[in-house]
Every structure is written in C-alpha cells, then in structure tokens.
Chain A
Amino acid sequence: MSAGRSFSERALDLAIRRATVIIFATVLLYFGLQAPTFLGHENLGNIVKQSAFIGIAAIGITFVLLTAGIDLSVGSVMYLAPLIAGFAMRDMGLGVAGGLFVTIGAGALLGAVNAVFIVRLGIAPFIVTLATLFAFRGFGAFLTSSRQFDFPPALRDFGQGSVGGVPVPVIAFAIVAVAAHVVLTRTTFGLQVYAVGNDPAGAVKAGIPAGRVRAAVYVISGAAAGLSGFILIAQIGRLDAGFGQGREFDVIAAAVLGGASLFGGVGTAFGAVIGATLMQTVNTGLAFTGVNLYLQPILQAGIIFLAVLVDTLRQNRQIMRRRRTIRPIQG
C-alpha cells in the first residue's frame, strides 16, 4: 500500500538507494575486464589494506554527517593525535598498546574541543572545524618545530604485522566498522543520531538529548581520525609535518561515496567502508591499467561528483515526497 508508486519509480528509488554498490560493481567489472589480475586475491587484499587509513576516519565522520554536521579537522587530528601518542611512547616509555590508547583518547579530546564550540557555543560546524583544522596542525607544528618525528621501532613491527595472515590495518578497519555498525543500528544512541539528522527540531520535541548526541558524534569522529592516522603511521614508522594534510576531503568523499548524505539522516558504517574501498580501488585500478598519471585526479573527481549527484537526487526526491499536501491526491 506504499502510496501506489509505479514499478519504474520504485526501481529508480532502489537504484538511488543502492547507488554505491552499483558504482562499485561497475568499477570492479571494468578494471577486471581491462586487467584480469586486478581481481586477484593479492591485489584485492592490498586494496582493502590501503583503504583502512581513509576508511576508519570515514566511518567516524559518517556519524557527524548523519547529524547534518561536518568535520574538516580530521586531517589535522590524524596528525596531532598520533603525535601526542608518539611523545608519550618516546618520553614516557609507553608501549604500542599504550600509544594506541593515547591516540584514541587524544583524538576524542580534540573532537570534544570541536563539540564544545559547536554545541555549547552554537557556532556552525563548518567554521569551528575549519578553525581547528589550522589550530590542531599548528599545535603539532609547534610541538615538533615542523620536523619529522620518529616513532620507536616497535611500532612498525605492529603496523606491518599480521594476525593469522590478516594484516593489522585490515583487522583495525574491520573492528571499527563492526563496532560502528552495531552502535548505529543496535543502540538507542545510534538511532538518535539518525533522528537528529532527519529532523533536529522534532528530535528535541521527541525528548531526545539532541545536544549530547551532536556532541558525541564529533568525539567519535575525532577518535576515529586519531586511530586512522596511527594505523598508517604504524606502517611507516615516522610522522612528517605534512601528514594528513588535505585528507579531510578524501575522508568526506569516501563517506559520501558510501551513501552518507551531507544533508543528514542517511548513511551507514559499511557504506563508509565501501566508499573508502571504492576510492582506493579507483586509485589502484587507474595505476594498474596505466592511465596517464595526470588524468587520474580528473577521473577520481568524476566518481565523487557522481556520488554527490546521487545524494542530491535522493534528497530532492525526499523533499518532493515530503511536500505538504492540503488535500488527498486522487488515484
């Protein structure tokens, strides 16, 4: 009885809802046809491993996007949070596990800074996180005098290690994805995140602690960004002054590619996983098939544009369907 929509309309709806998967399948198919080894076990494993860095942060930012917020500071958090952990490891003799813990805590704290300005002081998220983008990176540069920071060697053993044949970055990626999925779909908090993004005023009226929900998503985004930086640094063993710079756009693009809406209320944790993996697949695939290096950004941009276009289409359809009617529509 769903308001008597036609088959083609419902098919279009489904295509829009599943756009990411459709794009992903098409991309895989295309590169597979171009170079059959592309779909090989090893190559696909590498793609997932390389996706973990952007992917973890994209899962975090998905929470923010769900509330119709934005977090531009993730690239700087990727730099500053692991750096703080690095000092703790080098100067206080903390192990890798301790460093991991400090990174996540520092990331959460930096996210909390964003949350205070956004929720308590009511400043637009775009402005707050643009300011902290500079502030966090500036603070890191101040701590290091913009010099490279070397982590204890034990970190690389961790970052390049694997458990039962599965690389550590992939394990971290999987844990974050599953945890985020459970939180979003199986807890009251998760549903409230969706509710706040769908109708902020309605959420307040429904008795949802909207302020606390909005604050929490920035803390989550910060923690995830910190972790994502740590995972990549653990593979390299050192931290350059420009680490993570500009990555906020990759992260946002991955989340949106994965179906998160910039208008809030729409998006999933696994969507972010697919979005990040899709971006990495395109990058790898373009290199694999020997596409001119200088053309690659343009093709990547095309894919991102497509994703945002789908998001807007979806939003417009929703607005159309929500348009207030004053008399029943006949037929």
Chain B
Amino acid sequence: MNEALLRLDGITKEWFGIPAVSDLTLAVIRGQVTGIIGENGAGKSTLMNVIGGVVPPTSGEMRLNGTSYAPTAPVDATRAGIAFIHQELNLFTNLSILDNIFITGFPRRFGLADRRAAARVARPLLERLGIGHDPATLVEDLAPGERQLVEIAKALHRSADLIIFDEPTTSLTPRETSRLFEVIARLRDEGRTVIYISHILSDVRALCDRIAVLRDGRLVDEGPTAEFGIARMIRSMIGRDLASLFPARSAAPSDSILVEARGISQPGVVEDITFSIRTGEMLGLFGLMGSGRSELARIFFGLDPAASGSLAVAGRTTGGGPVARIADGIAFVTENRREEGLLMDASVAENITLATIRQFGRGPFGLLDRAAETATAEQATADLSIRASDLGRLPVRSLSGGNQQKVVIAKWLAAAPRLFILDEPTRGVDVGAKYEIYALADRLAAAGNAVLFISSELEELTGMCDRILVMNRGEITADFARAPASPHFYREALLAAAFRELVA
C-alpha cells in the first residue's frame, strides 16, 4: 500500500521570474498523513495553490491516482477529489449545516430539494465526526471548531480522497484541537489521504506519518516521522546564511525607558502583552503568520480595542483612538502600504503632509497653504532621498515600492513621533531599497526615538534589532537580547520560540 496518491514532478511556480516553488518533486502516499512544514515564504501556500488549481505551475506536472492532473480552477480540484480545509473556512454562515453540505446539489424529489433525503445522507456523516447539532442549525451559530468539522463533512460527502488541512488549529481550543486530531486519525484509518500543514511542530510530529520540509520553494528534507526530531525539523527549515545586507547601527540605546506596554489583553487576539522599549532602542517583534504581530500593532495605534492594559509613551499614558495616539507620539507604518499607508492617487506632497494637515491650515477657514505643504514635502524628500520628479502632481502610485515606503515614513516624521511602529516595512521592496529603509530605521532610533520593528523575516530582525520579542498565538513567548557572536544558535532559538517548541 505504499503507492502515491498524488505525485508532484518538478513543479516550479514563478512570479514575475522569481520562483516561489522550484523544481519540487514529492510523492504523497495513499492512506497516510503527510506533514508539510516551512518558514513563512517557504512556498507552502504557493504549492497548495498549485495543487488546488488556484494558480497553474510554470512547469512540471502532477499525477493523481496515476493519471495526469492539471487543474485550471479550484472546481477541478474538488471534482478530482481534493478538499481543502483552510484557516478561513469556506462556509456560508447564513445557511444551515445541511444546506452547506449540499450547496452544489441536493437530492431531488418532484424537482425540489429533498431535505429529508439529504438529512438521511448527512446524519451518519455528522455523527461520525461528532457533530451533535441538528443539520438545520445555521452555521453562524456554531463555534469555530464545529464549523471546521462541517467543512470536513462537506469534503467527505463529496468523497474526497485527499484532504488538505492548512493551519487548521489556529482558532481552536485545545479540546476542539484534540477532537480534530481524532477525526484526522480516523480519516487515515478509513484509507483517506491527508496533507497537514502547520506551524505547530509537535502537532505535525504527533499526527503525521511522513514529514516534508520546504525552504525557499524547494523540498529540502523529507522522510518518515520516526526519523524526525523537532531539532531536525527546525534545522531543515532554516540553515542558510545570507551575506550581510544590513547597515551598522549608529548608536546604542540609552537606559531610560521611553515606551511601556503593560498587561495589554484582548480576548481572542492578544494576552497580557507587557514590555518596554528604551530611548534609541530598536525592538524587533517576530512571529509567524497569525501570531498576532500586526494585531498588536493595530491595538498600539488605537485602531483596535484592548479590553485591558495600558500603553505609555514618554511617561504619558496614551489616549484612545488613532487621533489621540498620533498626538501622543505614535507613528504606524502599516503592513499594507497600498491599502492603508498611502493615498495612492494623491501626490507625494499631499501624502507627506497628510498626518500633519492641521499645521497647514491658514486663516479663519483653515484654507490649505499649498506653498508651505510643498516646502515641507521638498525638505522631507531631500532628507530621505525619495526619488520623485514632481512632488505636487506625481501620484504616489507611480513611485517604486521602496520610495513609496519612504513617503509613508516621511509622513510620520512630519508629526515628530517618539514611537515608530514599522510593520513589515520591507515587504515588496527590492534589496537596495531595503538597505535604505534599514538605514532609515537606524536613524529614527539614533535620533532618540523608540522603534518597534515587526517582521516575519528573521534575518532583518537579527540584522538590525537590539532586542527581539517573539510572539505566538497572541502571547509574547520569548525575549532575546542581541547576540551577534553566535547568530546561528540565535536564530534557531528564536524560531523555536516562534514555533513554541523546546529544542531537544
């Protein structure tokens, strides 16, 4: 019974010439649970999108059940018997459990949907998965774990052979998680094939028969679980050294505390976040996707509520809402600069003066002083060496990613903040521009501010930060001081904390 249900042969997927998955060959054995692990950006999502028919591979081929499998749309994957259980479920909350299971086709009687017949089919299915609810219950009334089981019931109803779980336990309670694991084990015992993707390495080890490790889009390690310790998993996931791409830090942080977060909690998001940032310190915040990094940033900036806790900048407790937080000296360079950081069709000058627009009002009606705006923008662009030709007219959209990011930072500089929250500031910018942004972050810190540098790229945090906090599931799980002497160990420990595992 060691035949492959799904065979990937030399799968490559390039985005604009940059490979996200390259030359990947992998056999998914029938009747087994295969675990796939890797850092953020290792190519797991791209690979799943290829299997799921969301994107076509650039080259390579797949064989399912021995026959060629080349999906062009997600529907093709469903028809071929592949089901995905994503973190974000694909259920219609306004419909009942039963209607969700049969949404693409009910059994019919006199041309009408026959709910009774459908319920007869569904009931044993639901029982087998331990869903105690009446099939007519609306999905919106179910808890997250129960919804997931409904999704599995849907997959089973479509007699899916291959069920792919992508980070399925993120919003589950421990009890729901153990129930899910029982279900997965039972699926395997019934002869179904499962791919299980997760950042929780101990889960992967407990659940899977085989483990495959991706790094930089390649399959770097693969084998039966019995041969995999947590340490080997982590070693395989990292294990690369990049040449130094980082500017030297120009000043050491002082001893005085500038920013202090105390016991910030919000149910379902973050729990008891307590830390401080010193004047001139660059504090890294590392965490995997869904660890709560960006959510914490939004809470800090007053965009999302916190049920308890406080944040103080320069000794003053901050007010509620973004307007008060800006006045209190917080600047937030968001993760999505296109959607949240910039007005893409407005000019460079307008964007730079956006956060401080009140300063440019003149006279009783607050008419904008365009000349002063332009002067400020010119000063800022020269200061940050933003390359843009006509500040007053050129829309920000036409700038490169790196220059756009500098415009965002310039906007905040004009407000003279003390705490800079940089959320993934180098995402989508090229290597050269990255260096400039790192240098800029160093300047912000050296000028006596606090910088909270949030990133999922470990290299840039270890390269730039004085200290790194690690988040996992909304909690801070570790606090590392800079240890440049042994960067390798450093990264392994960090990653282990992010995965919340103890390295044996």
Contacts and interface: CB of A to CB of B under 8 A. Distances in A.
Given A194-B92, A327-B271, A208 B474 contact: no
B486 interface: no
B95 A198 contact: yes
A194 B290 CA distance: 30
Contacts of B474: 326-327
A2 B141 contact: yes
A202 B75 contact: no
Given A187-B113, A202-B92, A326-B290, A318 B74 contact: no
A266 interface: yes
A207 B268 contact: no
A194 B95 contact: yes
B71 interface: no
A229 B295 CA distance: 53
B93 A208 contact: no
Contact of A328 (B93, B115, B268, B270): B268
Contacts, number: 107
B142 interface: yes
A182 interface: yes
A120 to B, nearest CB: 19
B431 interface: no
Nearest to B291: A326
Contacts of B174: 328
Contacts of B176: 328
B143 interface: yes
Contacts of A206: 78, 90, 103-104
B430 interface: no
Contacts of A322: 93
Contact of A325 (B75, B92, B171, B475): B171
Given A198-B92, A199-B92, A329 B268 contact: yes
Contacts of B172: 328
A186 interface: yes
A56 B292 CA distance: 50
Nearest to B90: A202
Contacts of B484: none
Nearest to B154: A206
A187 B171 contact: no
B105 interface: yes
A324 B142 CA distance: 15
Contacts of B290: 326
Given A186-B112, A194-B92, A208 B171 contact: no
A265 interface: yes
B94 A266 contact: yes
B293 to A, nearest CB: 10
B216 to A, nearest CB: 26
Interface centre among A182, A205, A265 (most CB of B within 10 A): A205
B3 interface: no
A326 B113 contact: no
A171 interface: no
A205 B90 contact: yes
A8 interface: no
Contact of A198 (B93, B112, B143, B144): B93
A266 B95 CA distance: 10
A3 interface: yes
Contacts of A186: 112-113, 115
Given A2-B141, A187-B112, A325 B268 contact: yes
B152 to A, nearest CB: 15
Q: Report the interface size class on chain B.
A: 35 or more
Contacts of A331: 267
Nearest to A265: B94
B146 interface: yes
Interface string A195-232: 10111001111111000000000000000000000000
A54 to B, nearest CB: 25
B90 A329 contact: no
Contacts of A1: 132-133, 143, 146
A195 B269 contact: no
B50 to A, nearest CB: 16
Contact of B104 (A202, A208, A326, A329): A208
B94 A207 contact: no
Contacts of B292: 326-327
Contacts of A326: 170-171, 268-269, 290-292, 295, 473-474
B390 interface: no
Nearest to B142: A2
A192 B90 contact: no
B140 interface: yes
B95 A188 contact: no
Contacts of A3: 141-143
A236 interface: no
A41 interface: no
A265 B105 CA distance: 19
B487 to A, nearest CB: 29
A48 to B, nearest CB: 27
Contacts of B91: 202
B423 interface: no
Nearest to A329: B268
A90 to B, nearest CB: 37
Nearest to A190: B113
B103 A208 contact: yes
B182 interface: no
A222 B140 CA distance: 32
A205 B74 contact: yes
A202 B89 CA distance: 9
Contacts of B102: 188, 191
Nearest to B96: A191
Contacts of A202: 90-92
A266 to B, nearest CB: 6
B385 interface: no
Contacts of A324: 88, 171
Most B CB atoms within 10 A — which of A186, A190, A199? Answer: A186
A330 interface: yes
Contact of B473 (A203, A327, A330): A327
15 contacts: A2-B142, A3-B142, A3-B143, A192-B103, A198-B92, A206-B103, A206-B104, A207-B75, A208-B103, A265-B94, A325-B171, A325-B269, A327-B271, A327-B475, A330-B267
Cβ-closest 10 pairs across A and B: A325-B268, A328-B173, A329-B268, A327-B474, A198-B92, A207-B75, A186-B112, A265-B94, A195-B92, A327-B473
Given A206-B104, A318-B140, A326-B290, 13 more contacts: A1-B133, A2-B143, A186-B115, A188-B103, A190-B113, A194-B99, A202-B91, A205-B90, A206-B78, A266-B94, A326-B170, A327-B268, A329-B268
